[in-house]
Amino acid sequence: MTTFYKEFQKVFVSVDCIIFGFEANKLKILIGKRQMDPGRGEWSLYGGFVRNDESIDDAADRTLFNLTGLRNVYMRQVGAFGKIDRDPGERVISIAYYALINVKDYDEKLRVQHGVEWVNIEDLPQMYSDHNEMVSQARKQMSRKMKTEPVGFELLPDLFTLTQLQRLYEAVYGEEIDKRNFRKRIKDMEFIEQTELIDKKSSKRGAHLYRFNKKAYKEDPNFKL
């Protein structure tokens, strides 16, 4: 450890993870009760402090893996949150990240072990410090990204109906989408493939199941919703 910068004040750096999921046509976020002071018992995102031997991206990866047990998850940085009084304990600057996972991939035992739960984004309680602001910023960024890149498929199972896909975009955007126009645009995208399989749970007639073909998308990345 060097002896440089002794004349400057030291601050803590943390990461907070906004983990999005999609279930029952609702956009959800994984949150839990804070297990440390200050703010013990308050609703909170899941996070942790950056270690001396890791980058902030590595810290976010570690934090996400500890909570979900999942690797190779789609995750992007939201930004830095550093208001002077954001943490009553110490001067803490937090780097927020958002991640997209399929709820079905998350081990229920891990959820119980960490004491977290899926909460509809429209029903989020008031959370610790500026965590609600983090969620708001993450949703805006994800909405913009989903209009130009097919990242929304990270929230869906491998096989999905067009209704499920539409409900996902409506949940993220927070508004209804015209069904006819939506399906027309989807059917123009060759990398969203209709399979021969039928989902008979959603309606009596059943609905075709679709899949996202990553290889076809890489060959012709023309996506706009």
Q: Coil, helix or strand for 174?
A: coil
> What pLDDT digit, counting tens, does each position of 96-113 carry?
999 999 999 999 999 999
Q: Coil, helix or strand for 75?
A: strand
> What pLDDT is recorded for position 204?
66
98, 20 contact by CB (below 8 A) = yes
Report angle CA 69, 70, 71 to the nearest 5 degrees: 130
CA atoms lying within 13 Å on the CB side of residue 57: 6
216, 191 contact by CB (below 8 A) = yes
Residue 1 has pLDDT above 60, yes or no: no
> What pLDDT is recorded for position 201?
76
> What pLDDT is recorded for position 205?
75
Q: What percentage of the chain has pLDDT greater than the value 90?
A: 81
Is the pTM higher than 0.85? The answer reads yes
What residues are paired with 211 via a beta bridge?
Answer: 193
> What pLDDT is recorded for position 69?
95
Per-residue pLDDT, averaged over 60-66, amounts to 96
